[in-house]
Amino acid sequence: MGKSITNAEKVYFHRRADLPGSEVRTVVDTVRTWRCYSTDYEFLAPLTWCGDVWHRRREAQLGPGTVLAAHPGEVFAARKVHAGGTGSSLTIDSNVLAGYLEEHGVSPSRVHLRPFTTASPALQRALSAVFDAFHAGATALEAQSNMVELMARIASEALDRTWAPPPRLDRDARAAERVLECLHEDASANIDLAALARETGLSRFQALRAFKRRFGLPPHAYQLRIRLGLAQKALRDGKPSAHVAADFGFVDQSHLTRHFKRLIGLTPGQYARLGDEAPRAPRGPGVRAAPRLREEAPRLAQR
């Protein structure tokens, strides 16, 4: 996420053993602009929050009745807040999502989500049912049934079935993709900008500019989010936070804790424990108008 968590804002995470590979995050009373890095597939549904969000080099008004979908490794950002409030997101492991969608004839190579979807009443109900199942202690059968129903709605409404692989990338896009590959090859490595530039055949400035334009963050900020995403997965698997810090390029445990708290909203220990104190997610109002999309150069102000 972006700026530090405010005093009024509350962040909650929930997982269920009977829905492996899935996690729900609820943010209550937020008024911040923010930037998020998606560790897996993610579906973000504002309940009362409304603002202008940049995603895949487009900007849309996101609010109650709209859903943002992100692929693993994508960055999306709130650039202007029209109304503070609450929202929830569902994160699903790539293999788990592929398994759900294969039941609807979608092969893993064809999973491509629309960046913004105006949710039908049926999709809104399906999302609310899944969020409630994580918050309110539904039975395993009920929670799994709700998830299967939601995936059917996702397959119907949020998949871009006309998607085709993009044509040959231009020089800057190829350079940005190469930088991305380097950052993912070893997220704990202390690679410098000069080395990334050499990998692309561009100058340091050209490589930096190309990456920021394509992915919305400079390489160092993107690398930090990769490390935090890997740290989240390791903590979910029960790995001690001191070992997590050492494994993923943090100077020490306090360094991990500082960034984890600032960008995710909890300390690593709190995230690992995932207390059950979160309130039931509030219900949002009805469907809003379709998001207003416009192509634009993705020059994010650094926050």
CA–CA distances in Å: residue 132 to residues 88, 92, 125, 158, 172: 11, 16, 10, 21, 44
Indicate the pairing of strand 35-37 with strand 75-83: antiparallel
Provide the sign of the torsion angle of the four alpha carbons 31, 37, 39, 44, taken in this order.
Answer: positive
Q: Do residues 115 and 159 make contact, with C-beta atoms less than 8 angstroms apart?
A: no
* Residue 245 to residue 241: CA distance in whole angstroms: 6
Per-residue pLDDT, 294 = 31
Q: Is 76 exposed, middle or buried (0-12, 13-18, 19+ CB in 10 A)?
A: buried
**Local mean pLDDT, 10-residue blocks, the chain (303 residues):** 60 92 94 90 97 93 97 92 96 96 91 96 96 88 97 95 78 92 89 94 94 90 92 91 92 92 90 59 37 31 32
Q: Report residue 116 as tokens.
A: 């913004």
Q: With contact defined as beta carbons under 8 Å apart, do 293 and 116 qualify?
A: yes
> Which residue from 115, 146, 148 is spatially nearest to 133, judged by alpha carbons?
146
Q: Which pair of structure tokens corresponds to residue 140?
A: 């395993």
Residue for token pair 């979910």: 236
* Confidence (pLDDT) at 27: 94
Show the domains of the chain with their CATH numbers.
10-164 (2.60.120.10), 171-273 (1.10.10.60)
The predicted pLDDT at position 30 comes to 93
Residue bearing tokens 């993009």? 166
* Residue entry with tokens 């190579």: 109
CB atoms within 10 A of CB 292: 11
Q: Which residues pair with 90 in a beta bridge?
A: 24, 43
Residues 6+ apart with CB under 8 A from 168: none
Using the structure block, give the residue that is written with the tokens 């963050």.
Answer: 217
The three-class DSSP label of residue 60 is strand
Which pLDDT belongs to residue 7? 59
The Cα 26–Cα 24 span in angstroms is 7
Q: What are phi and psi of 200, to 5 degrees?
A: -95, -20
> Cα(51)–Cα(60) distance, rounded to whole angstroms?
8
Two structure tokens written together for 291? 């998001």
So what's the pLDDT on residue 224?
Answer: 93
Token code pair at residue 264: 């995710």
